[in-house]
Structure formats: structure tokens, C-alpha cells
Amino acid sequence: MTADIALAKPAAAAVSAAIDELAAIFGNRLVTSQAVRQQHGNTVTWIVNQPPDAVVYPQSTEEVQQIVRICARHAMPIIAFGTGSSLEGHVNAPLGGVSIDFRDMNKLVKVHAEDLDCVVQPGITRKALNEQLRDSGLFFPIDPGADASLGGMAATRASGTNAVRYGTMKDNVLSLKVVLANGEVIDTARRAKKTSAGYDLTRLMVGSEGTLGIITELTLRLSGIPEAISGGRCPFPTVEAACNAAIMTIQAGIPVARIELLDALQVRALNLASKTELPETTLLLMEFHGTAASVAEQSERFGEIAEELGGGPFVWTTRPEERTKLWEARHNAAMSNFTLRPGAAMIATDVCVPISRLAECVTATQADIAETGILAPIVGHVGDGNFHLTLLIDMNDPGEVERAKALSKRLVERALAMDGTSTGEHGIGQGKMKYMVAEHGAAVVAVMASIKRALDPQNILNPGKIIALS
């Protein structure tokens, strides 16, 4: 097995033939203006924008099928597009092709309240979904920073602050409707909560970043909105003490819902941007879900653990408005960083290590940041061993850009050396392809490439992502 996959731009004649065929069907839902094409190239990362040749807005699975069949006939690349909030160049079109924008496929199709599941179209965003679910007493727990689309979240195997309790997208997708590279439509599983009937195509599609199929519908697992929620913040003298508190909390079986680390620099950014008055030191933000009695018990026990480790006081509350303020500040963490350096470009990256190595990894990274002289606040989903750097960069200073790139590379190498991964939740896209062999070994990358070739022999589904190219 090899990792070689042909990567060729379609000929200009094929491109215009495909676009003509699509235009005949989709009319003004097929757009080729430069502004719209640019919007659908990568916009959030520092990776250069590579716009598609056209953008199309389907309204049904059948229309997606039509698009894929036309593109397949002309060997045109196809890139699924949700909200464009992915961070590693996932929606870029290095070979041109057609971007399928799911703007118009954004419905909550059905709620099965007794089964704790729902069926959605890929373009619905997580906030819109939870808004529409509210009356059912249910919610969808996965919350990446951005208000991403559910299709994109599945495609990148997203997670967020709730993952320590509710898992990631891989744990909360029951089934996917997928259009394959040949235009066939499959459902990856039945709606039953578990199955042993053959290969797990659901989990194979989750995290495949649009390279194995186009998701046109998702059946999602939901959770009951907790009866009571407590939340609060707890300062710690060191990153190590905070990480140890996280470890002891989980080992003690306290079913913590959120356990978020902020370093002192990140707290300062939050205070500046959100007018909060958080202590500017290493901080854990906590949340507990359950009954009134159980969240009180969990909160008290966490407070004891924190104190034992020299942290505290743990200031917590069950009052919604105070909790909301705290977590809104946290969710604005990325954007708040601009207050630290107005006008800077923001480069977000993440790694994930076994939690026993987290303190060491964060501390070494802080030292590296200090030495490199880059402004880079840290937030971490410490229950998972996952943390993020936001590098604030002057893109007009080539030296600084180089230093930032080198810092990011050392971060990944540090994580890999600790049995960690190059990305806990952002994905590979274009940005982290260069680390795939170092992380997995050539044999694993070859297996992935052989699966890619089996499902997409023409390499038309989001080419130039995940798998190293010849």
C-alpha cells in the first residue's frame, strides 16, 4: 500500500462544462462571482485563500446527488461548506472545483424525544439547533468555539468544553446520510442506539473532512437539559496544580461537565474584552450538571480537591445569569485575544496529550512562548488533555511569522513526544497534513489512503486534505 493519490486540476474545458451543466439546473443558486468564491476559500486561518470555481446552494439530498454526479463525470473537485469556521484550511479549493454550501439545508427535520435523538440537515448551526430543541427539554452538548454547522462539526470530529462529560462528535452522531463520490446515497446506520452489524461507517465518516462522502443529513444523540447546573471559577498557583485538580476530580468519579483551563494571559484578555474581574492567574472554570443536591455535592467536593492542591477559593453559583456571564466570557476567549494586540492576525492551533502529561506540556509550551517572544494565550479542555494556543501575529513581519510557525511545529512535536496527537479537535485539513506520518507512521497513512482510494478513486472529494499527496 502506498499513500500516493493522483492530484490534478481538471482541464479548463471540463470546469466550464461542469459549471454550465450545474447552472442549467440550479440557476441563480449557482454563483461564480469572485467575492462569493473567495468567501468560500479558507478565511479563518493564515493559510492562503484558494477559492473554488463555483459555489452551489442545494436544497435536498437529491440535489447534492445531482451535483456530485455532474462533478464526477468531469472529475471536478467537490468541497462541502458549512459556516467556514474550520481552522486548518478544510474548505480551501487548491484544485478549484465546486463548493457545496449548505446554507439552505439548515432544518431540524425531526425530534424523537423518547429516543433522545433528532434528525437535522447539515447546515443547521449548533446554536440554532439548541434554540429549536429548547421546548423538548433536550439539548445537543457539543460546543466548539464557533457557531459551526452540524455537518462541519461531524466532518471535523469537533468537540468543545462539554466533551469531558458528553464526548465528542464521534460519540453523538448515531447515523449519517452521505452522498458517495459515485453519487450513490447511503445511510451509515439505523437509528438504534447501538449495533454490531458490520463496519462502523458512521465513525469512519465522522472526522473524514468531506474526503470520503458528502453529509446531507445527521441523526444526533441528544441529552436531557440538566435539572440543575452549578458553575464557578477557581484560581491555582501553578498549571500543574490546576491539572492535578482535574485529574483528581475525574479519578474521584465526579461527573464534571466542563473543566476549562485558562492561563494568566488568557484571563487578562477575557477581563479586557468582557469587563469581567477574574483573578489574572492560572484559572479553572468548572461546571457541574445534575440534580440540585448532586451539583452542590459535586461543587463542594471539587472545592475540597482544589484546596488540597493549594488552589481556591472555588467561587461557584447555580444562578443562571452569573454562570452565563462566566461562560460567555470563556466562549469569547478567541475573539477577546484581539484586545491584547489590536490589528494582529490570530492563528489558532490545538494539541491533545494524555492528561498525566498535560501540565508538563502546557508549562513547557509557556516557556517556549516566552522565549519566542510571541503573544499566545492558552485555553485548555483539561479533562481531555486538550489545549489551544492563539498566536497573535503581525502577518506583515516575515520574521515573526516564521517564529510563529516554528513555535507551532515545536508544539506538535512536544505533544507527539508525549503520546499525544497533533490535533484534538480542529482537524488536519491542509495545515496539519505535514504531521500525519510523524503522528501515525507511514503504514497508517497508507491504510487511510487505501480507504480514500476505495471510496473516491477519482480523488474528487475535498482533494488535498488529510492524506499526503504524491
Q: Which of 10, 96, 123, 420 touches a second copy by CB under 8 A?
A: 420
Yes or no: say if 53 and 15 are a contact pair by the CB < 8 Å rule. Answer: yes
Please state the closest distance from residue 254 (CB atom) to a second copy, in A: 9
Nearer to a second copy, 104 or 297 (CB): 297
Please state the closest distance from residue 342 (CB atom) to a second copy, in A: 31
Q: Which of 34, 135, 321, 454 touches a second copy by CB under 8 A?
A: 454
Of 179, 188, 143, which Cα lies nearest the Cα of 331?
143
302 conformational bin, left if phi > 0, alpha if psi -120 to 50, beta if neither: alpha
Of 18, 51, 82, 69, which Cα lies nearest the Cα of 210?
82
Nearer to a second copy, 116 or 264 (CB): 116
Q: How large is the C-alpha radius of gyration of the chain?
A: 22
Nearer to a second copy, 13 or 454 (CB): 454
Nearer to a second copy, 183 or 312 (CB): 183
Nearer to a second copy, 134 or 193 (CB): 193
Stretch that binds a second copy, among 26-34, 207-215, 278-286, 313-321 (CB under 8 A): 207-215
Asked if residue 186 binds a second copy (CB under 8 A), the reply is yes
Please state the closest distance from residue 111 (CB atom) to a second copy, in A: 12
Please state the closest distance from residue 396 (CB atom) to a second copy, in A: 31
User: What's 424's DSSP letter?
Assistant: S
Could you tell me which residues come within 8 angstroms of residue 19 by beta carbon, excluding any fewer than 6 positions away? 30, 32, 53, 54, 98
Q: Which of residues 115-134 bind a second copy (CB under 8 A)?
A: 115-117
Please state the closest distance from residue 386 (CB atom) to a second copy, in A: 6
Dist. CA 19–CA 225, nearest whole Å: 46
Asked if residue 185 binds a second copy (CB under 8 A), the reply is yes
Q: Which of residues 216-245 bind a second copy (CB under 8 A)?
A: 223-227
Q: Where are the alpha helices (DSSP H) in 373-441?
A: 398-417, 436-440
Q: What is the dihedral of CA 336, 338, 341, 344, to 10 degrees?
A: 160
Q: Which of residues 35-64 bind a second copy (CB under 8 A)?
A: none
Yes or no: say if 5 and 468 are a contact pair by the CB < 8 Å rule. Answer: no
Nearer to a second copy, 250 or 344 (CB): 250
